[in-house]
Amino acid sequence: MSSGHDDSSSSENHKAFKFDIASDKVTAVFELDDGVWKSKSIDDDGSGTYTVENSKVVRTEVKPFGTEITHYADVDLDGVYLRVSEQWQSSPGAPADGHHFKFEDDLSFSPSDGDDNIAVRGGEDCHGGHGADDFVIREAAHLRIADFNSPDDHDSLVFDTGLGLTSVAHLAGFVTNFHHDGQNFIVNFGDDVSITLAGVPPDQISWDDVSVLS
């Protein structure tokens, strides 16, 4: 499999990856960064592993209180893989009050016409479908949701950060600024963390649309 520096339309608005695969084993990993394919660690100092399952690549990362499993697929058969889903599995015996994720169902990176649990990640334009979608936020980064719709689709924001948030009021205490720039509603949590709701008027989002898991 080539890891050359060509770009692909299939990676537009999504993080894109390439894998060198030999005898059904991943031997090298590359991520598209500013138009250039850059090599990534294949094991993250022993905490991560890649396997090939049918036509998908699966990354398993062991963390202190559980395991994160991410599935990648080359939908267009162009050699470029996109994340399609991920799941968190808590370790047996992990303390209930520990700082780890609480949501353990599959999170999707692609919408459907039904009610979806959508992974919100930095570097991606996150899209839901036409159903009542939960946009699950785990990263402290600059995040963008392209089609949040609370009035019509009853979408919601779900914070599952693993950082010990206990309530919506607790989360609200970290907000440093929120404003509408004429097109988008933007919430800042300091200089390095923000959530942009593209095309959302300020009167179509409220704290009633937010829940906190961790």
Within 10 Å of residue 38's Cβ, how many Cβ atoms? 12
User: What rounded mean pLDDT belongs to the chain?
Assistant: 89
Q: Where are the domains of the chain?
A: 9-90, 113-212
The tens digit of pLDDT for each residue in 2-13 reads 344 344 334 457
Indicate if the alpha-carbon torsion angle 69, 76, 138, 41 is positive or negative.
positive
The tens digit of pLDDT for each residue in 140-168 reads 999 999 999 998 889 999 999 988 899 99
Its pTM stands at: 0.84
The tens digit of pLDDT for each residue in 96-137 reads 666 678 899 999 998 888 999 999 999 888 988 888 999 999
pLDDT band at 35 (very low <50, low <70, confident <90, very high): very high
Phi/psi of residue 2, nearest 5 degrees = -75, 145
